[in-house]
Structure 1
């Protein structure tokens, strides 16, 4: 089978330089004699992509993941022919529809109806072909009452719904989708993911960039991991996502490197925070079902009337699966003067599924959230060697008691 997308030794370079300010004649003469010749007008260079090569077969859904600045959006812009590569070649064997960011692909002065026909014409479709898809597009986008309104008056959500509906329903052979689905609500995101599955089942190809790792694993058949413009992993979505999380785990473990953290109202400072295993030792790996302990060092700059410390664990899909909070009355009897305090606690074993979890903490001071750190790093939850739940799905496991008896 001939690949529908072929990328060979692709690289992209950007030039970084300051905007030229106004110079008088005296400034220009002074610049000529004082600035070394080899430094004049020499912009810095930044390579966004380095020597990328890969192929995509017809009907495949390729997921592209990586940290911010890894080169994902630059790659899609080159595949969409919005920006040219500096080196290498890209061969696309089919019509391409792209949904890269809210605001691209539509003329703001034209109505929703006119933009549907404009995009179809750009894809090489006849008006008859566009009319045959028109009702599907408007039904999917849910903007029937605003079809004859210029799209410059649309909300970002309306714009996104129409843009995705147009890109997905005008039957391109290749559909490129960036992280724009974050604009829509949860129900619409599910609707878009379902449509992309339908597109791929119809033999068309989808390239999908997302930070939602669960969507990558459930939707894609292959995946690429980019890091600083290079492909560092490719293969099954499960394997590539695991590699990505492992890399993040090594770089962003829960540790003391990011402290101290000052509350936004200067009421206190978080000096350190650690999660501890069942032996009270700091650890980035915890066993499912075992006790969890924690310790935090705080400096109070003012006396609180009430004080809450909250620990949260979030899974790969950014869904919170555990929240542990202190009692609101914690400060009344102990925090009677300013200075440094140690806060420690524990909870019985939480039967989380094995995997990687992001740790977040929040602090409420006098019923106001004054400090929130959405990511203090990653921890690993491993299976207990005596686990009774092999291969079980879901977010949390629970202990249970079962009986079986013979019926007479």
Structure 2
């Protein structure tokens, strides 16, 4: 027997969005910024944490093993799991419920990080607690995209889904800049000994406090699922994958080129310049910070443009632009400050054509009943496979003696996504099922 479709009754598609869209936007954006501050603070403080929790002087061979497992488990396992589980919570219990769960998970795991005992004080207990905290953070940040994407787009007034979508990467970038700024401030204000003793813990305590603020704001947000969806039977955990395999693969294709370009330009490019052309480390980090601020300012412009001209023109500009220009842009980097600044900011302009509308494009693929879980798992899995491995692939090509192959790798994946975008139906002007 043919399976019934997930589409709701006709009136569901035209149901009005929440009455206070500005409050909805604030709830999603502040919470998302806090999530990414907590997640990325670990990256900036990793050297201090490793010295206290995974000391080289530890006489137990399990210590470096646990260190490796922590990075692997969180980066390549827990984010897809979080996307599936928290997406299911959003589809079964509501978007607001999922958003409050993710931020509480992140706040709790940040507090756990701040209180993690050192190896000297507790032996293997310290590394184990740290691994658990990072697993919980991975679960949280993996679920945040699914829940926040759905919540943001469903909160948008008709004709403003692109604009509302853009605030996902505005808030993500703001969280990254705050994490970098707090770390820089701590390092500048206290000496190295104090940073090792308690300075790195202060950053995570701040994250835990900010999570409570985000939780309070999100609790006051309005649920975006329609009354019909709330009254309908709750979907199963794997229902989106089972009933919408084509849409799940479509999310993977939409994300593949975008995630490798995003992580290359927002995270790996300073290291790429240092490794391949001997660029000054301090200057590369400064350029990275400037370009991230520039990137955040571009997002609403891209979102508003897509509401006027559609999603496909921007997606094709991003993907074809990177497929054609990635190799010459990366090869144009030399030791001059302006070369890296122009390459990074130029790439950010192209990248904005995807990031500013990523939430809208993904949300418009799935029906409301399974929208969050349908987005969460394939998106997070693709990010883990292609985005999270970008630095490793760049380093691998360098170690193999073919550093020039990495730009071609990025360009090829963007070309794959360009072919997907060509077949993607335009959805900017269509009403969103709620």
- TM-score by length of structure 1 reads 0.23
Which of the pair is proportionally richer in helix?
Answer: 2
Q: Which has the higher contact order (CA 8 A, sep 6+)?
A: 2
- TM-score by length of structure 2 reads 0.22
Q: In terms of Rg, which structure is larger?
A: 1
Which of the pair is proportionally richer in strand?
Answer: 1
